[in-house]
Amino acid sequence: MADHGADSEALELMERMRAVITQSNMDGHCREMLCSAFDRFLNQEARRMSKRFLLRARDQKQRIAASLALLSELDHLGDDEADRSVFSEMAQLFDEISLTAVAGSAALREMDRVRAEFAPDEPEKLETLMAQWSPQCARPD
């Protein structure tokens, strides 16, 4: 199972903060602006995390490729090999590939989970939000 990590916990904290703001007595337009800002932040963080998970999966793929290159030696061995330890080493390479594949799979699943949970369906444009900005939202009461 994938570890959600500190980044995911930070996104979940932002979601809880957004929920509190949504239920606050703040002016509707100001609340909307702040919620939009939270949405943009969550979307950017989800994209950043998604890219990191993809890089992690690619790294796992390269590790598997390196292990496969080492396993190609198996094609040149016979069952009458004098040094039997080579078979144990090859078995360890298969084990390593298995663990690495699980890690790569978990990274891709986590990438999907983060994007599905935190990325908005229709991200708003910054220009539109700035056009809606009200100086009232910037003033403390």
Domain ranges of the chain: 5-138
Helix axes 28-71, 85-118, angle to 10 degrees: 170
Poorest-pLDDT segment among 20-24, 73-77, 100-104, 110-114: 20-24
* CA 37/CA 31 separation, integer angstroms: 10
Only one residue has tokens 């144990």, namely: 88
CA 131 to chain centre: 32
Residues 79-123 pLDDT 10s:
999 999 999 999 999 999 999 999 999 999 999 888 787 765 554
Compute the average pLDDT of residues 33-45. 80
Report the distance separating Cα 133 and Cα 120, nearest Å. 21
Chain centroid to Cα 4, Å, comes to 9
